[in-house]
Amino acid sequence: MKLRGGIDLGGTKIQAVVVDEQHRVVGQARQLTPNTGGPRDVAMAMAATLQEAAQQAKVEARQLAGVGIGSPGLSDARRGTVARAGNLPGWQEPFPLCAALSESLGIPAYLGNDVGVALDAEALIGAGKDCDSFIGVFWGTGIGGGVILHHERWLGRGSSGEIGHMVVKQNGAKCACGRRGCLEAYAGRRSMEARARLDVERGVKTELFAIMKKKGRTQLASGVFAKAIEDRDKYTIRLLDRAVQALGIGLASACNLLDVEAVVVGGGLGSRLGQPYADKIAAAMLPYLFTRDHPPKVKVAALGDLGGAIGASLLVPGKTPPS
Amino acid sequence: MKLRGGIDLGGTKIQAVVVDEQHRVVGQARQLTPNTGGPRDVAMAMAATLQEAAQQAKVEARQLAGVGIGSPGLSDARRGTVARAGNLPGWQEPFPLCAALSESLGIPAYLGNDVGVALDAEALIGAGKDCDSFIGVFWGTGIGGGVILHHERWLGRGSSGEIGHMVVKQNGAKCACGRRGCLEAYAGRRSMEARARLDVERGVKTELFAIMKKKGRTQLASGVFAKAIEDRDKYTIRLLDRAVQALGIGLASACNLLDVEAVVVGGGLGSRLGQPYADKIAAAMLPYLFTRDHPPKVKVAALGDLGGAIGASLLVPGKTPPS
């Protein structure tokens, strides 16, 4: 039985998995992404993380059929290079990530886009596996996503799936991308954090930052929001309701255009807040939805935190279809 | 050489064409849609209009390979029935339109959705024929449209392409559909007319209604808007700029989601206002577009007023591929 490796390269952490032919995770490991040095240091850390996952699966990395990588930035699958990975140290120029990993691990390496491979995993073995078509939205630091049509990712000219930059309000809030009124400007974790910091300066009361400190964090991570909701912090509930409203509008617009069967909500916030918030998003979509009498299902991504790494493992050729 | 018939059934007019195997129009006729009676009267008028188009093509209708119908309302292609055609007289219950026309003309009849067939025509032989993917937007009384992906219409669960009901402004203007902030509420001809009537009551100055009367119309038809623009009526310019802004936002959102190659603008207003307004729409999209450095082309629909009828003729089987 041939095992495969998958690595999800994030700005904060590197997540590696080893999966079997039925896509079951038989080993996993996680390390912090180096925040100094350059691409070569990141590649070394990635190799080490995969070695650790392989160890847990009781194999050596060089026995794997190959390793897939889900990468941020501009990934060129054919060349195996990644460029302009803004959240990674010193990574502007194209770096031959596949060659580096392949050399260090002794197995072939394959490259894909981080959001894209996570979406592929949800489509093949996750929340979307019974859907012919769905929209995937990764609700995290930013808002990424993609469109699955007839079980395949629609790529367009290469830049499709920018759900976070659908406009929900003409002349609306300023987005980190420089545009105005983007969904991400209302619902992205980073935007919500910026707003919360501003509101606290203005004297608004919230437990968010106390929870952040208690958790030893310097940012309002998804877990911080989840805890504040659990504690019924009124400000956080309002802030998330505003995000949910924007998500409802953006996703309803997307569904009015494409009439897909389902919406799959993943990402840090999507996974942490779970089905109760997926249901809130479904309710927020309803007033704007053309198919109000038969709305698309809104589901939480099934693969959670490991979706990116499992999706990356799908890049390794020779996988069997899911049972 | 086998000729085909096509009929575009509209709330105001019935447009019929006869086309040859290269989709060239060899006969055409237009009649007003009966506004009294019921579906059977409409079907009779449709048959008469096609007879007239056939006469112009120097054939008899019964010599045609068949006739395609692009219909508003709920069309059931398999059963050949149309229901809930709100703009047509007494047409709520399903009526067997194909059977009625087939019987009256002595040739097989085929049914499709009016916007859908017009879009198919633009995709096959019109402005989209060199595009693998594009968004078609029919800018008229309302705002319809559709999505062409890999040269085919994406249908979703059967209700896709509702571009007019993409939301461009949270808590925005009330739309005729009952929802808020829809693109159509800003850019649909009917919405713009309602707004203009209200503004005139409030004392705003515009030549729109004088032009309407001069043209012997009771509504602000597309031609009325076009003439007012030609006359540089300031109010009309502002009203259309507001529509263009909303179109820019909605279409940019759609393109951020799908990254298609082009946007094709048709419909009464789209065709009348032509490329200068297509260029304005392109400019309005730009600030919201993720692919700002390589924006999709924005083109005017190539088949104009006849697009619906030509598209309907494509429903007749046995057509040859375009040369």
Per-residue pLDDT reduced to its tens digit, A58-94: 999 999 999 999 999 889 999 999 998 877 889 999 9
Same domain, A150 and A275: yes
Can you tell me the distance from the alpha carbon of B318 to that of B192, in angstroms, rounded to the nearest whole number? 42
Within-domain flag for A294? yes
pLDDT digits (tens, 9 = 90+) for A112-160: 999 999 999 999 999 999 999 999 999 998 899 999 999 999 999 988 9
Q: How confident is the model at residue A166 (pLDDT cuts 50, 70, 90)?
A: very high
Q: Rounded to the nearest 10 degrees, what angle do helices B189-201 and B234-258 cross at?
A: 150
Is B253 close to A166, i.e. CB distance below 8 A? yes
Shared domain for B114 and B134, answered yes or no, is no
The answer to the question of residue B214 being in a domain is yes
Query: Looking at the structure, do residues B141 and B261 belong to the same domain, yes or no?
Result: yes
- CB-CB under 8 Å, A290 with B162: yes
Does the pLDDT at position A15 exceed 50? Answer: yes
Closest chain A residue to the Cα of B170, Cα to Cα:
A169
Q: Are residues B66 and B147 both part of a single domain?
A: no
Considering Cα of B133, then A85, then A151, then B251, what sign does the dihedral take? negative
Same domain? B212 vs B88: no
Instruction: Let me know whether A151 and A275 are in one domain.
Output: yes
Mutation to test the B interface, candidates A258, A289, A291, A292, most B Cβ within 10 Å? A258
Q: Does B165 touch chain A (CB under 8 A)?
A: yes
pTM for this entry: 0.92
Contact between chains at A256 and B166 (C-beta distance less than 8 A): yes
Structural domain includes residue A318: no
Nearest CB partner across the interface for A290, out of B154, B165, B253: B165
Rounded CA separation B235/B244 (Å): 14
Q: Give the whole-angstrom CA distance, residue A183 versus residue A144.
A: 10
The reply to whether B69 and B175 lie within a common domain is: no
Show pLDDT as tens, one digit a residue, over chain B (323 residues).
689 999 999 888 999 999 999 999 999 999 999 989 999 999 999 999 999 999 999 999 999 999 999 999 889 999 999 998 877 889 999 999 999 999 999 999 999 999 999 999 999 999 999 999 999 999 998 899 999 999 999 999 988 999 999 999 988 999 988 899 999 999 999 999 999 999 999 999 999 999 999 999 999 999 999 999 999 999 999 999 999 999 999 999 999 999 999 999 999 999 999 999 999 999 999 999 999 999 999 999 999 889 999 999 999 997 555 54
* Over residues A155-184, mean pLDDT: 92
For A219-285, the DSSP string reads S--HHHHHHHHHTT-HHHHHHHHHHHHHHHHHHHHHHHHH--SEEEEEHHHHHHHHHHHHHHHHHHH
Tell me: do A153 and A261 sit in the same domain. yes
Measured in angstroms, the CA of A152 and the nearest CA of chain B are apart by: 12
- Strand-pair category, B13-19 with A67-71: unpaired
Whether residues A258 and B154 touch (CB distance < 8 A) is answered with: yes
CB contact under 8 A, B179 and A287: yes
pLDDT of residue A323: 46
- pLDDT of A322 over the 80 cut: no
Structure confidence at residue A319 (pLDDT): 54
CB contact at 8 A, B305 and B271 = yes
- A30 φ, ψ (degrees, to nearest 5): -140, 135
Residues A220, A170 share a domain: yes
B251 touches A at CB < 8 Å? no
Residue B323 lies in a domain: no
Residue A137 in contact with partner chain B when CB distance is under 8 A: no
| C-beta of residue A184 within 8 angstroms of C-beta of residue A167 | no
Domain assignment present for B322: no
Nearest CA in chain B to A294: B157
User: Could you tell me the CA-to-CA distances from B78 to A259, B112, B119 in Å, in that order?
Assistant: 21, 10, 20
Q: pLDDT tens digit string along B69-100?
A: 999 988 999 999 999 887 788 999 999 999 99
Q: ipTM score of the complex?
A: 0.91
Q: How many CB pairs below 8 Å do chains A and B form together? A: 118
Residues in Cβ contact with B51 at an 8 Å cutoff, skipping those fewer than 6 apart? B60, B61, B105
Task: Domain count for chain A, please give it.
Answer: 2
- For residue B180, the number of C-alpha atoms closer than 13 Å in the C-beta half-sphere is 12
Q: Does B261 touch chain A (CB under 8 A)?
A: yes
Q: Using alpha carbons only, what angle is made at residue A57 by residues A222 and A317, rounded to the nearest 5 degrees?
A: 85
C-beta separation of B4 from B121 below 8 A: no
In a domain, A322, yes or no: no
Closest-approach residue (CA) in chain B for A253: B166
pLDDT tens digits, one per residue of A229-276: 999 999 999 999 999 999 999 999 999 999 999 999 999 999 999 999
Is residue B126 within 8 Å of B256, Cβ to Cβ? no
Averaged pLDDT score across all residues of chain B: 94
Beta bridge partners of A265: A137, A300
Distance from CA of A3 to the nearest CA of B (A): 35
How far, in Å, are A17, A71, B11 from residue A68 at the CA level?
10, 10, 56
Give the HSE-up count for residue B232: Cα atoms under 13 Å, Cβ half-sphere.
0
One domain for residues B168 and B247: yes
Residue A37: CATH number of its domain: 3.30.420.40
Count CB-CB contacts under 10 A for residue B318: 9
Question: Are the beta carbons of B164 and B186 closer than 8 angstroms?
Answer: no
- What confidence score (pLDDT) does residue A1 get? 62
Mean pLDDT within A300-322: 86
Q: Which domain holds residue A48?
A: 4-118+306-313
* Cα torsion B187, A246, A155, B114: sign: negative
pLDDT given for residue B319 in this prediction: 54
Say if A259 is an interface residue toward chain B (CB within 8 Å): yes
In chain A, the residue whose alpha carbon lies closest to the alpha carbon of B154 is A258
Q: Is residue A40 part of a domain?
A: yes
Residues of A in contact with B147 (CB under 8 A): 257-258
A295 part of contact set with chain B, CB < 8 Å: no
DSSP letters spanning A22-74: T--EEEEEEEEPPSSS-HHHHHHHHHHHHHHHHHHTTS-GGGSS-EEEEESSE
Residue B52 CA, distance from chain mean position: 23
The DSSP element (H or E) to which B284 belongs, if any, is helix B267-285
* Cβ neighbours of B166 in A, within 8 Å: 253, 256-257
Tell me the Ramachandran region of residue B312: left when phi exceeds 0, alpha when psi lies from -120 to 50, beta otherwise: alpha
| A107 and A207 assigned to the same domain | no
B47 and B166 in a single domain? The answer is no
Does residue A321 lie within any of the structural domains?
Answer: no
What is residue B80's DSSP assignment? T
Closest Cα of chain A to B156: distance in Å?
5
| Share of residues in chain A with pLDDT > 70 (%) | 98
